[in-house]
Chain A
Amino acid sequence: MFYREAGDFKTSYSADSATFPILFDRYRYYLVLIVGAGIIPFVLNDYWANSILIPFLIYAIAAMGLNILTGYCGQVSLGTGGFMAVGAYTSYKLMTAFPGLDMISVTLLSGLMTAMVGLAFGLPSLRIKGFYLAVATLAAQFFLVWLFNKVGWFYNYSASGQISAPTRDFFYFTNIAVTGPSAESWAKYLFCFMFVFVLAWVARNLTRGSMGRQWMAIRDMDIAAEIIGVNPLKAKLTAFAVSSFYVGISGALLFTVYLGAVEVGEAYGITKSFLVLFMIIIGGLGSIFGSFAGAAFMVILPVFLRNFLTGTMNWDSALATHFEFVIVGGLIMFFLIVEPHGLARLWALVKDKLRLWPFPH
């Protein structure tokens, strides 16, 4: 009824190619921004921030990153956990070596470092394709985790081998801590929200620009793309670099803002790679919205199951965890069979229906 383009006349090319061409969509987007940045920080409590909102925002960044590589460029990666670890350890080294550095610079620099590491591991993708590449990225996963575990320099030779985030500021002279034990939930939340907003905006525009079209050409058929003039070297390596940048930022935030102290094998192991992969499969391959939907789903599902099974049904927690495995695995197969494009596609179908509602013909 409200959701249609009729009567919404575009008078310029830029209006015509806007991200949200339908007025209702645009207002909804502004509403999400206002609620996300203007209302939630004031009503936020620690439980919601720490168990749902902050992990959701952080994983959404990782999911966007992996979606750029896997969903848009078609290169399956199982090394996400390893790249997240690169971000985390870079931010740790920066925070301890330069105590005056603010968190925004630290996080961005961590992303850049990860992008460079990602480039190095992306080079084989020029020769190796498909699941050969997926297995090759496992090399990155295991090697990086081993490296951070064994080389003392990375964790400043601490006895436990763990790294823990010291207290650091949001930005210069602001005096708002976003890391360390004294940081407040709303500051952490807003810090992550800001990164998510900017990165999502960049990702959305990258993927519909010429670079994104090159990635998609490579994904759909790399030889044909090469013939029509897409440079596979450039397309694949930019995808790896941009993707790793996102994943690195996500890994850095996961360590500095969310967890505070990590042990690399536990926090950035192979299970993390799969978690992010599942997010984009369930959310939708090749969709920015899908990254958010998938991240939300995979963050909320365990919390919900744990509350439901252990709280309401009185199961013990080990049993609930196993049940979670069954559900997640089942859902992955279900989505791949029924809707390979995930939640994002379902959402698009709903929107198409809504355009005609209540007069479907």
Chain B
Amino acid sequence: MPEQLVFAMEVTLNGLMTGVMYSLVALGFVLIFKASGIFNYAQGVMALFAAMTLVGIQDGRVPFSHVINAIFGTHIYDFGWEVPALLAILLTVIVMIIFALLVQRFVFKHLVGQEPIILFMATIGLAYFLEGVSDLMWGSEIRNMDVGLPQGINDWIDVTTLEIFGYGFFIDNLDLAATLIAAILVMGLIAYSQYTKNGRAMRAVADDHQAALSVGISLNYVWILVWSLAGIVALVAGVMWGSKSGVQFSLSLIALKALPVLMLGGFTSIPGAIVGGMIIGVGEALFEFAIGPMIGGATENWFAYVLALLFLVFRPQGLFGEKIIERV
């Protein structure tokens, strides 16, 4: 087999894994958008916030320590204990649920019935707010995330591909774990929305607010529920990205990539988010591999957006989105 083709296969596989990571962020968008029509720009920052909270709790840091120290002139930073990973994850989930409650109570409750674009801009405001809060809370240094996920090259794939192609593929264990977790998460979400009472309520609200309201479903409750779920998905995405490249501000920018993913897949479809993520992941990896060196590299900065833009011109609702019908 020609060498270039083998390289391309490796690039494709790695792109596929990156794509799954994009999908993880995109999932959170879809959840909120389906249930409330809010296009939540803050999803990326929520992932950052969740990851920082998790690391902060694990290391036993005092929240807002910098602010407290600046105001009262004290020097407290740590509680002096370390929290085990599982307990820390549980605590972070609770924090994300509280966050969902607050967001619903203080922001989106007051914006019900506004135009979608106003809601979108409100979430941009929320993103800024949350970014500031997470920096104030935990400081802005780059942290290492360690929740016991496997890392480093996968030896088995390396050895097997070496035997078959004469060239060992470099596949990160972490990416494999992320793919597995994403698959579990998606199946869990689908099962949850199909077979539980809350899940059915969620789908009813996504279908028609008024009708859902009239059969006694509390919109407020469902919205808090989806924001909590989105927070949990954000936590998973934050853990994955954080383990991969450290918990830092750029995490929220990587999450911006979820936007073209959504545009490709359609805003309302969970499978769409997954497939869109994979197309973007593979597409940008292959483009960078094949054409990038000719035009200066770093094409992954914009390739996803341009691909989505071109795609939308031909199919404005995305791959799996519901057909857009407009009435006057």
Contact = CB atoms under 8 A, between A and B. Distances in A.
A135 B259 CA distance: 7
Of A131, A146, A328, most B-chain CB atoms within 10 Å: A131
Contact of B313 (A128, A150, A326): A128
A328 B127 CA distance: 10
B306 A143 contact: yes
Contacts of A337: 107, 110-111, 122
A151 interface: yes
Interface in B261-312: 262-263, 295-299, 301-302, 305-306, 308-309, 312
B126 interface: yes
B124 interface: yes
B296 A76 contact: no
B328 A223 contact: yes
B117 interface: yes
> DSSP class of A's interface residues: helix, strand, loop or mixed?
helix
Contact of B136 (A76, A274, A319): A319
A14 to B, nearest CB: 36
A131 B122 contact: no
B113 to A, nearest CB: 12
Interface string A327-354: 1111111001100100000000000000
A129 B259 CA distance: 15
B128 A127 contact: no
A323 B305 contact: no
A24 interface: no
A76 B128 contact: no
A127 B121 contact: no
B132 A324 contact: yes
B313 A329 contact: no
A311 interface: no
Interface in B72-118: 107, 110-111, 114, 116-118
A316 B66 CA distance: 9
A124 B309 contact: yes
B130 A329 contact: yes
Contact of A146 (B132, B299, B327): B299
B16 to A, nearest CB: 22
A319 B302 contact: no
A143 to B, nearest CB: 4
Contacts of A149: 298
B117 A326 contact: no
B117 A76 contact: yes
A139 B308 contact: yes
B298 A150 contact: yes
B104 to A, nearest CB: 13
Interface in B245-266: 253, 256, 259-260, 262-263
Nearest to B295: A150
A139 B302 contact: yes
Given A132-B263, A138-B259, A325 B302 contact: no
Of A224, A325, A333, most B-chain CB atoms within 10 Å: A333
A316 B312 CA distance: 46
B10 interface: no
Interface in A95-132: 124, 127-132
A314 B133 CA distance: 20
B132 A76 contact: no
Given A131-B117, A332-B124, A336-B121, A139 B305 contact: yes
Of A134, A221, A324, A328, most B-chain CB atoms within 10 Å: A134
B328 A224 contact: yes
Interface of B: 39, 66-67, 70-71, 107, 110-111, 114, 116-118, 120-122, 124-133, 135-136, 140, 253, 256, 259-260, 262-263, 295-299, 301-302, 305-306, 308-309, 312-313, 316, 326-328
Given A136-B308, A337-B122, 7 more contacts: A135-B308, A142-B301, A142-B305, A146-B298, A278-B125, A281-B125, A329-B131
14 contacts: A127-B312, A129-B316, A135-B305, A139-B302, A142-B301, A221-B328, A223-B327, A313-B71, A314-B70, A322-B136, A325-B135, A329-B126, A331-B125, A332-B124
